[in-house]
Amino acid sequence: MWNCNPKFERESLFLMKEDTVAELEACYSEGSSEMGEIDMSQIRIDCPAVYLREYEIDDLESLHALTWQPEIYEFLPGWNVSREQREEWFVHYEREENARFLKAVSVGGEVGDLRLRLGMIEKSSGEFIGWCCTGMKEELPVPEREIMYAISNQHRNKGYTTQAVKGMVEYLFQHTKIDSLVALAHIRNIASMRVIEKSGFIFKKKIKLEDESYRYYTRSKSSPVEDERLRI
């Protein structure tokens, strides 16, 4: 996982004010001047029961609520920040960096250290139910590109997360110059281990990060997922 600064106090949820929505829409509907000529074209990674797409303005409330589900913040403690902090990251970092990632893909696929954060959408309901992301894991002795994810406690044990991870991996290997990925699972997170292993990652070793123990997995481009058909 990655965070700007995880040390924030919890605050109660509240609805986005109309002026805030208007400000965000003005910033992103035609592309903010702060973002220059960044291509804001959309991405869709289609899986059997879910699909992945870029974060949209209307996702903010759902994303924030999910980060406060105990099943999620138990293993992603730095994500359950205040509503104000979540909005700050969402508006000024996450959506903007998504655009830069996709711009890099469109001009050759050299994404460097850029991160990509995609929402997980259930096809049958259209509901935002989780996310699947990729970025550099700086805490490792040698930083490597990680796949990470989370899903609502109401949609577990349906195979959705495995579909999303497979889709993200295939997209990265097909459309960028990334040729290897890592995934980490806390030793208590049995469900995450199953997702990682079903997605073709190979267990390599146990590691410690910030006094917590994790299982460390790797996946290379030479062993692609073959059972996922993607529509982008």
> Is a pLDDT exceeding 70 seen at residue 41?
no
Under 8 Å between Cβ of 31 and 95: no
- Please check whether residue 55 is in contact with residue 120, taking contact to mean a CB–CB distance below 8 angstroms: no
pLDDT band at 224 (very low <50, low <70, confident <90, very high): low
Which single residue is written with the structure tokens 């990655």?
2
**Which range among 28-37, 105-114, 148-157, 192-201 shows the weakest confidence by mean pLDDT?**
28-37
Q: Rounded mean pLDDT of 148-175? A: 96
Asked if pLDDT for residue 42 goes beyond 70, the answer is yes
pLDDT in tens, 172-199: 999 999 999 999 999 999 999 999 999 9
Confidence of residue 141 (pLDDT cuts 50, 70, 90): confident
pLDDT tens for 87-100 read 999 988 999 999 99
Indicate the SS3 state at residue 125: coil
Residue, of 83 and 223, whose pLDDT is higher:
83
Beta strands at 144-151 and 44-46: parallel, antiparallel or unpaired: unpaired
What mean pLDDT is reported for the chain?
81
Separation between Cα atoms, residue 70 and residue 74, nearest integer Å? 6
* pLDDT classification of 23: cutoffs 50, 70, 90: very low
For residue 18, the surrounding DSSP H or E stretch is helix 18-28
47 pLDDT more than 90: yes
Give the chain's domains with CATH numbers.
43-220 (3.40.630.30)
CA–CA distance, 220 with 107 (Å, rounded to integer): 23
Phi, psi of 18, deg, nearest 5: -60, -40
pLDDT of 179 reads: 95
Q: Does pTM top 0.85 for this prediction?
A: no
Out of 34-38, 41-45, 140-144, least confident range: 34-38
Percent of the chain with pLDDT over 90: 66
Q: Give the pLDDT of residue 222.
A: 83
**Residue 68 or 78, more confident:** 68
